[in-house]
């Protein structure tokens, strides 16, 4: 098969039933924070709140099954250089940097504070996952073409298996949403599923 054939966009992305083993899997909830997912947030992505319920459904299933749950927070110091690109957002210690109330971490769940798009960059995420013998990551959150995609690339470079529930990832523009999912599927070999087709097995 040639590169043009591999990279050709399909008419429709294939979404499958997926079963994961809780002991070997972690649910990553990426940057579902007030500044991004609340209408009064500083960098609100219009419509982002629609992924809260699909993520909550997966989260409840993960908790019942005993899977590892990890939240990431975009977390910036005052006058962070990234603000030249996006404007001020997710400043450490502010309401905007906090995870939305509907998805608040439970006791014992892990929160990773990250300075940039990739949740592996300058964080202990890889160490935590390896210490728990986790090989499969379920990626949810926002934005699909920024922090979710960069984290997916970071995970793939470290040989993690990727599962992406398409209704639990938000991207502002449909083209960016489809193209980022396509990249994760075709290039990073992520399995695409949905919140109602993802199950936690034995």
Does residue 31 have an active-site annotation? yes
Query: Which residue in 74, 114, 118, 150 is the catalytic one?
Result: 114
Does residue 21 have an active-site annotation? no
Q: Tell me the C-alpha to C-alpha distance, in Å, between residue 112 and each of 30, 116, 168.
A: 9, 12, 19
Scored b (16 or more CB within 10 A) or e, 59-83 reads bebbbebebbbbbbbbbbeeebebe
Does residue 126 have an active-site annotation? no
Query: Which residue in 31, 74, 80, 167 is the catalytic one?
Result: 31
**Dihedral (Cα; 50, 54, 56, 59), 10-degree rounding:** -150
Query: Which residue in 35, 80, 147, 150 is the catalytic one?
Result: 147
Looking up tokens 């990431």, which residue turns up? 72
Which residues are identified as catalytic? 31, 114, 147
């Amino acid at each position: 098969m040639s590169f043009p054939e591999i990279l050709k966009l399909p008419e429709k992305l294939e979404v499958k039933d997926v079963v994961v083993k809780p002991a070997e899997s972690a649910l990553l909830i990426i940057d579902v924070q007030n500044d991004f997912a609340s209408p009064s947030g500083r960098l609100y992505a219009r419509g982002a709140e629609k992924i809260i319920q699909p993520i909550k459904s997966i989260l409840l299933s993960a908790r019942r099954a005993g899977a590892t749950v990890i939240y990431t927070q975009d977390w910036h110091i005052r006058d962070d250089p990234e603000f030249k690109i996006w404007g001020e957002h997710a400043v450490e210690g502010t309401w905007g940097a906090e995870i939305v109330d509907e998805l608040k971490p439970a006791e014992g769940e892990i929160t990773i504070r990250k300075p940039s798009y990739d949740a592996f960059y300058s964080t202990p995420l890889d160490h935590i996952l390896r210490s728990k013998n986790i090989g499969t990551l379920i990626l949810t959150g926002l934005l699909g073409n920024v922090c979710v995609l960069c984290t997916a690339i970071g995970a793939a470079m470290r040989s993690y298996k990727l599962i992406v529930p398409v209704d639990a990832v938000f991207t502002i523009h449909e083209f960016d949403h489809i193209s980022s999912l396509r990249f994760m599927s075709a290039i990073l070999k992520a399995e695409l599923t949905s919140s109602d087709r993802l199950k936690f097995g034995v």
